[in-house]
Structure 1
Amino acid sequence: MTTEQVEQVRRFNRTVAERVGVLQDHYLGGARPYGQARLLWQIGDEGTHDIRSVRARLGLDSGYVSRLLRALERDGLVVVETHPHDRRVRTVRLTEAGREERALLDERSDALAASLLDPLGARQRDRLASAMAEVERLLTASMVSLEVLDPDHPDAAYCLRSYAAELQELFDGGFDPANSRLPDPGELRAPGGLFLVARLHGEPVGCAGLKLSAGAPAEIKRVWVSPRVRGLGLARRLLSELEERAARHGSDLVRLDTNKALEAATRLYRSSGYTEVPPFNDEPYAHHWFEKRLTPGTP
């Protein structure tokens, strides 16, 4: 990244903070600051929520969320309780007063959005809305985290189940992992490999495995991205991360195979510098085989 890019992001952040009023003690002319209002809105009126999931969605630490909840609870807007089946889990829900204030918050938020658009001409409004959609997409992409997990971790297991379920729907004749040459998940852990899991707001949204067999090219396996985050460049990011890790491991060649039904994946591999080669395994679900040269030890 460049210094100019960093400065532009900082200017944008300052402009947004000033224009939407997050610096004011009483956000949108209400009775509370932005932090409390945002948490109240996130809790919503759909029922009871696990506080941990709400905290993960907002990216806030537990101490700060606890202080915000105490303020909302003191004002009679939320009820915080212990989960009836797990005393380690706390839940939160809106009271009737909380639902009323949230509805008012929605009305005032709509009015604020309209005030941003109102001074502009029709074409400027379209430009602003389109630019905001693009910024939202890119900021969401920047919030995705990658972590190496054991394949038996619940988030990893969720991704693997989702991967298999999607292949079952897409492949002619379905997909049976028992008939595939996919490595056992246990092979995708050190020292023979690794398993990356992508998370957004604390929820697993993608995965990819790397097999590191001694004396053989590295192999990328089980690449999956949740449909709800496709278009954010996550698959390319997973691919690049595994290539870097393979190179640091000393591999100078990485391979993968794919099914003809996975057209987007095939386009991704070609555009990422992979060359189609003759079959290097007898994977029954593969129609295309690819490889890419790496520079060992790449930092």
Structure 2
Amino acid sequence: MNTAAQAQDVRAFNRFYTRRIGMLAAKLGGSDFTLPEARVLWELAHHAPVSASALSKSLQLDAGYLSRLLRGLKNRGLLAAQRHPKDARQTLLKLSAAGKRAFAPLDRASQAETEALLEPLSAPQRQALVGAMSRIHAVLEPEASAEVVLRPPAPGDLGWLVERHGAIYAAEYGLSAGFEALVARICADFVDRFKPGREACWIAARGGERLGAVMLVQARDEASGRLRPGVAQLRLLLLEPHARGLGLGKRLVRQCSDFARAAGYRRIVLWTQSALTAARAIYAAEGYRLVSSEAVNSFGQDVVSEHWELAL
């Protein structure tokens, strides 16, 4: 699809969304305020005191138009002014006591309207919606997007981990559905055998969007299933394609190393394939070394299976 066609899709979405959230209404949420007035009140409630020029820049509003908005709010007794502590020529704006009283119900009404928008949706639908919004924000304004956090798995996260492994590895490496089944078994074992303080899973998330994940578990003998004393295993490192290049893979792998050291493990082992060049580079940078490899047919593909380990 070319840029012109994509622009048409963006414009269509903009028309839908502005109508869906009531931006075309003369007043916001049944209040006495227009959308621009409400937006100015929100900025002053959260970032005041601030100069008119800084407000114009952050909201990307024409200075003359903003001046008229501010004059109207001031005439209604909603604004207060103070001198800039370092430049007496500048005036800083904030909400007056009346402005704070006017903003509070406006903010509550907006929150209630948004909750009503989400209420009919299932939990997965809400997750998908918030995640998509977070992704739009990150793509269009990466410098201001939410911080990526590494958090424990929440309900639904392990299902997502299985689904994304299946989809990504099928698309990028041609692996069969057997690989997705393997990931599902690993996730089930993680839940059934979980030992707090000895095992962990981290989800890399930005707002409501999942960007990646990794697990660290107690290593087991492949034949007998018995625990290998002092040995941890790194499993299921995953990054969404659009989240690559942000340093998240390195951060997730380092999280495993730090956790394993604190838990008293002596080394970490992992299994990967030679085709996963980006992951292999992350492991090597962390200090892992390749200890063995063999050519095998795995999940419908001829691959080179590799075992790596990190001495702690």
Taking structure 1 as the reference length, the TM-score comes to 0.52
SS in 1 for 2:116: strand
1:50 — aligned with what?
A: none
Residue deviations 1:30-58, cap 9 Å, x none?
Answer: 337xxxxxxxxxxxxxxxxxxxxxxxxxx
1:205 — aligned with what?
A: 211
2:161 — aligned with what?
A: 159
Deviates more, 1:168-177 or 1:230-239: 168-177
Structure 1 residue 253 displacement after superposition: 0.4
Equivalent positions of 1:89-238 (< 5 A) are 136=142, 143-149=147-153, 153-177=155-179, 180=182, 184-189=186-191, 190-191=194-195, 193-213=199-219, 214=227, 215=229, 217-238=231-252
Are the counterparts in 1 of residues 218 and 231 from structure 2 also a CA contact under 8 Å?
A: yes
2:120 — aligned with what?
A: 86
Are the counterparts in 2 of residues 208 and 222 from structure 1 also a CA contact under 8 Å?
A: yes
SS in 1 for 2:235: strand
Identical aligned pairs, as a percentage?
A: 18
Q: Which runs of 5+ in 2 are unaligned?
A: 1-49, 71-99, 127-138, 220-226
Which residue identity does 1:174 align to in structure 2? S
1:252 — aligned with what?
A: 266
Which residue identity does 1:147 align to in structure 2? R
Are the counterparts in 2 of residues 170 and 261 from structure 1 also a CA contact under 8 Å?
A: no
Which residue identity does 1:145 align to in structure 2? V
Change (3 A) 1:251 1:27: same
Equivalent positions of 1:2-41 (< 5 A) are 21-22=54-55, 28=61, 29=63, 30=66, 31=69
Q: Which runs of 5+ in 1 are unaligned?
A: 1-16, 33-63, 92-132, 295-299
2:79 — aligned with what?
A: none
**Max Rg structure:** 2
Change (3 A) 1:68 1:256: farther
Change (3 A) 1:193 1:73: closer
Please point out which of 68, 91, 106 is paired with 1:70: 106
Structure 1 residue 171 displacement after superposition: 2.5
Change (3 A) 1:293 1:159: same
Which residue identity does 1:160 align to in structure 2? V
Structure 2: distance between partners of 1:209 and 1:157 = 14
Which residue identity does 1:195 align to in structure 2? C
Structure 1: distance between partners of 2:233 and 2:171 = 24
Residue deviations 1:223-276, cap 9 Å, x none?
Answer: 111112211100100000011111111111001111222111111111221100
Change (3 A) 1:262 1:25: closer
Which residue identity does 1:274 align to in structure 2? Y
Are the counterparts in 1 of residues 165 and 180 from structure 2 also a CA contact under 8 Å?
A: no
Structure 1: distance between partners of 2:58 and 2:246 = 35
SS in 1 for 2:309: strand
Structure 1: distance between partners of 2:122 and 2:273 = 44
2:310 — aligned with what?
A: 292
Structure 2: distance between partners of 1:202 and 1:221 = 23
Superposed CA RMSD in Å reads: 4.4
Structure 1: distance between partners of 2:200 and 2:142 = 31
Taking structure 2 as the reference length, the TM-score comes to 0.50
Structure 1: distance between partners of 2:281 and 2:250 = 11
Change (3 A) 1:170 1:260: farther
Structure 1 residue 177 displacement after superposition: 2.9
Q: How many residues matched?
A: 195
Residue deviations 1:191-236, cap 9 Å, x none?
Answer: 0632111110221111101111442521111111111221110010
Are the counterparts in 2 of residues 167 and 175 from structure 1 also a CA contact under 8 Å?
A: no
